[in-house]
Structure 1
Amino acid sequence: MSQQRHGNTPGNAGAVPAFPDLPEATIARLPEYLRALHNLAEAGSDTISSEGLAAAAGVNSAKLRKDLSHLGSYGTRGVGYDVTLLIDQIEYILGLDQRRAVALVGVGNLGHALAGYDGFASRGFRIVALFDADLEQVGKAINGLTVRHVGELRRAVVEDGITIGVISTPPSAAQGVADDLVAAGVTSILNFAPCVLSVPAGVDVRKVDLAIELQILSFHEHRKASLTALPGGLVGEGGNQEAVGS
């Protein structure tokens, strides 16, 4: 686990400044930088140039340098960025030094897969509670956790210190689950249900709709097919790569 930094320390070059007001686009790219940095650290790299990190993260190097400047990190000319320090900075900004507790509601096929995914723990998250309305699911053990009835959700949020809720229910149940999470004090929700949630101001919702992403890819396939059908039409090698949620 990397060191924790809480605010700027005078004379400490590269320390995180007072919590920055980051553009949404920068926030969305920070996890990509962090993933690339962890891969570099595991490979034994101590430093990395902006061009090297940009290539590993799949972004433009000028954009990366601007993003990291918001964190007070500018690298060292001729050396690049200190990998461990930059991991530390980004983890602090993303709040990953707090091991946030997560509740997962809906343990159907997708929810079951999410509950069994071990990658969350290495990224700073702990799924501490599983819920479902289906009595046939309640009581089952998944990845060391017992599925509880959704009626216990509000109490569990308080008792388990849950700060993030993940919804993987059918769309008809998602709004009610979101209402229960908000009523219990959860202000961050990741929604896998194919619907739009209505939440109060101050509650952040991120939506992941796999069907929408496939439809976007279908558009690109249709466009490429249309271009190749034109007289003399050619499509260059490689396709457009779009980030989920961009």
Structure 2
Amino acid sequence: MSEPSDAAVPGATVARLPYYLRALRDLAAQGVTTTSSSELADRSGVSSAQLRKDLSYLGSFGTRGVGYDVESLASYITVALGLETEHRLAIVGIGNLGHALANYSGYAARGFQVTALLDADPAVVGTEAAGLTVQHIDQVAEVIDEAGVSMVVLATPAQAAQEIADRVVAAGVREILNFAPVALQVPDDVVVRSVDVGGELQILAFHAATRAAAL
């Protein structure tokens, strides 16, 4: 297995790496020690050619006629994704969605820990969720510093999201996962990943309408 390629890894490739890692961990849990590009691609929902191209950005992997060593490739992708050390998260907005995100059981296995919860609602501040006490958003800078937060999850209403994003960025956070249905304006060195459930459903509605029109 070679050292990582010097070429920049495309964003679309980075977005697929977690799926490769999940498939590899599933294989390892089943006692599988080696896998082929076709099997790993099938489990990841991509073509074999796409899988090989994506991995080529990271280095040279696999042995012709043998395949990929599952544990080694999983470890390599873990490092490539920056998951060899734990990332601490703060969730802002502890409504129904925020509660669900706080109680998600898969963080630890993927290298994350929720260490802080914040909200602006006096009726929510001081309550507990997932074993943590919800703190007021006005304390966001201190909470981020004291809890060692490196990433923030925004589960706020759309009208509050930009202001909160500005505050967490000012507190030093450079990675944000945004569930609010709004396009955040952030500095160039800040990475935002947005999850728009309504938008995804509208895309499905388009495909449903297209299929119905073809009948």
Q: Once the two structures are aligned, what percentage of the paired residues are identical?
A: 53
Correspondence for 1:53 among 40, 63, 66: 40
CA RMSD of aligned residues (A): 1.1
Q: Normalising by structure 2, report the TM-score.
A: 0.97
Contact 1:138–1:149 at 8 Å: present in 2 too?
yes
Give 1:139 deviation, angstroms: 1.3
Give the structure 2 partner of residue 138 of structure 1: 125
Unaligned regions of 5+ residues in structure 1, if any?
1-13, 229-246
Query: 1:143 & 1:94 partners in 2: Cα distance?
Result: 26
Name the aligned partner's letter for residue 167 of structure 1.
L
Give the structure 1 partner of residue 80 of structure 2: 93
| Correspondence 1:177 to 2:164 | yes
SS of residue paired to 1:158: helix
Give 1:159 deviation, angstroms: 1.5
Query: 1:171 & 1:15 partners in 2: Cα distance?
Result: 45
Name the aligned partner's letter for residue 65 of structure 1.
R
Question: Could you say which structure has the larger radius of gyration?
Answer: 1
| Correspondence 1:78 to 2:65 | yes
Contact 2:154–2:161 at 8 Å: present in 1 too?
yes
| Correspondence 1:64 to 2:77 | no
Query: 2:36 & 2:96 partners in 1: Cα distance?
Result: 42
Give the structure 2 partner of residue 116 of structure 1: 103
Give 1:16 deviation, angstroms: 3.8
Alignment of 1:1-246 (within 5 A): 14-17=1-4, 21-228=8-215
Q: 1:81 to 1:45 in 2, by over 3 A?
A: same
Q: 1:55 to 1:18 in 2, by over 3 A?
A: closer
Q: Normalising by structure 1, report the TM-score.
A: 0.85
Unaligned regions of 5+ residues in structure 2, if any?
none
Deviations 1:188-238 (CA, angstroms, capped at 9, x unpaired) = 11100011111111111111000000000000000000000xxxxxxxxxx
Contact 2:5–2:56 at 8 Å: present in 1 too?
no
Give 1:19 deviation, angstroms: 6.5
Give 1:157 deviation, angstroms: 1.1
Query: 1:127 & 1:15 partners in 2: Cα distance?
Result: 34
Which deviates more from structure 2 when the two are superposed, residues 36-45 or residues 65-74? Answer: 65-74
Query: 1:32 & 1:165 partners in 2: Cα distance?
Result: 22
Runs of 4+ residues over 2 Å off in structure 1: 15-20
Give 1:20 deviation, angstroms: 5.2
Name the aligned partner's letter for residue 149 of structure 1.
H
Deviations 1:100-127 (CA, angstroms, capped at 9, x unpaired) = 0111000101111000001111111111
SS of residue paired to 1:75: coil
- Higher relative contact order at CA 8 Å, sep ≥6: structure 1 or structure 2? 2
Q: 1:186 to 1:19 in 2, by over 3 A?
A: farther
Q: 1:161 to 1:16 in 2, by over 3 A?
A: farther
